[in-house]
Structure 1
Amino acid sequence: MFTGIIEEIGTMKGIKRQGQALVLTVGASRILEDVHLGDSIAVNGVCLTVISFDAASVSMDVMPETYRKTSLRLLQPGSRVNLERAMAAGGRYGGHMVQGHVDTTGTIRNREREENAVVYTIEPEKPEVLRYIIPQGSVAIDGISLTVVDTADRTFTVSIIPHTLQETILADKYAGDTVNLECDILGKYIERLLRYPAAAASSHKQSGLTEQFLAENGFL
């Protein structure tokens, strides 16, 4: 589990490719302070597992499923990446609940300055994920916990403060660039719970959690 608060920007030191499988070696410093084999580290919002490390870098596997569904396939030696270690028990929860499980990639359609902020307009590759993205809700973009400003038929917007631009790779992103998107987990689970009884009624006993039940008990 992550918070979407980026700890540092790393640099790709090496990429080993074998078909759609990758081994990424990332140069870093802060995230190496207490690293162990098997640790989870989010790279541009993708949860990866540490397979080796030294004093200046860490290596992680990327399996074909992750290659196909995220922007990690676009990385090159020298690329800058957002890095975050898994949340420590008792740590401050400054962002929101981020799993590091990317729902889809998105394309930046517009970037414009608004006084001290920069506003990005993003179009998800899978438009159906927009049902989980709501104004003033949370979304993770390349692993960064951000607040949604507004939504449209095929796009949504976020407004970035100067600190976030300085501390993440969003400063490198312009119209046409690809980013990883992870929607708020709460909306996905609620939808699943509401839809599951009807879809599974033929083979499973119907759950008591229905829209009618929620309405009758004051939740809707």
Structure 2
Amino acid sequence: MFTGIVEELGEVAAIETRGDSARLRLRGPLVSDGASHGDSIAVNGVCLTVTDTGDGTFSADVMAETLKRSSLGALTTGSRVNLERPMALGGRLGGHLVQGHVDGTGTVLAREPAEHWELVTVSLPAELSRYVVDKGSITVDGVSLTVVEAGEDRFTISLIPTTLELTTLGIKEPGDPVNLEVDVIAKYVERMVTR
């Protein structure tokens, strides 16, 4: 379980394509410090399992299903990535409950800069729109955010200077893909109510 509070802006050090899968080598000295084989680290909001560590990097295998359902397949060597270790039991929940299970991908549609913040519009897959509400929580590339306005096929988020500086959302341009995870509580409520 994660919180959507990005700990480190990392970088893709290498990608090894393996047919229907890939092995990523990711540079992130903070999150890789103390990490070992089998640990979880969220990469752009996708929970990955550490296979190896060393010299401020860690490796993780990414299967075909994850490459298909997330934006990880669009990464290249040198791409910046949001990194977060799982929340420790008893730790602070600074964002919201994030599983690291991507529900779909969106595309950055527009950026509207203000003096100290930006309003960003992101496309929303039709099957996810029922879970996204004004002032509700959403995870975009692993970042816990509050929805400003929710539409049928898009939503807006406001990014503060810290988010712009310390996450990939500060450098995403219109047309760039982003991973989306809706609030898991909304999905459980829907299932209970419809039974």
TM-score, normalised to structure 1's length? 0.87
CA contact (8 A) 2:138 2:181 kept: yes
Match of 2:27 in 1: 27
Q: CA deviation at 1:18?
A: 1.9
Tell me the distance in 2 between the aligned counterparts of 1:98 and 1:56: 25
Unaligned ranges ≥5, structure 2: none
User: Which amino acid in 1 is paired with 2:103?
Assistant: D
Match of 2:119 in 1: 119
User: Which amino acid in 1 is paired with 2:190?
Assistant: E
CA contact (8 A) 2:39 2:49 kept: yes
User: Which amino acid in 2 is paired with 1:60?
Assistant: A
Q: CA deviation at 1:19?
A: 2.4
Match of 1:178 in 2: 177
Question: 1:166 and 2:165 equivalent?
Answer: yes
Tell me the distance in 2 between the aligned counterparts of 1:20 and 1:173: 27
Q: CA deviation at 1:92?
A: 1.1
Match of 2:83 in 1: 83
Tell me the distance in 2 between the aligned counterparts of 1:40 and 1:160: 27
User: Which amino acid in 2 is paired with 1:10?
Assistant: G
Unaligned ranges ≥5, structure 1: 198-220
Higher relative contact order (CA 8 A, sep 6+): 2
- Describe how 1:25-104 pairs up with structure 2 within 5 A: 25-104=25-104
SS at match of 1:130: helix
CA contact (8 A) 2:101 2:181 kept: yes
Determine what percentage of the aligned residue pairs are the same residue: 49
Question: 1:109 and 2:109 equivalent?
Answer: yes
Runs of 4+ in 1 over 2 A off after TM superposition: none
CA RMSD of aligned residues (A): 0.9
More deviation in 146-155 or 92-101? Answer: 146-155
Tell me the distance in 2 between the aligned counterparts of 1:27 and 1:103: 25
Match of 2:13 in 1: 13
User: Which amino acid in 1 is paired with 2:141?
Assistant: D
Q: CA deviation at 1:94?
A: 0.4
CA contact (8 A) 2:2 2:97 kept: yes
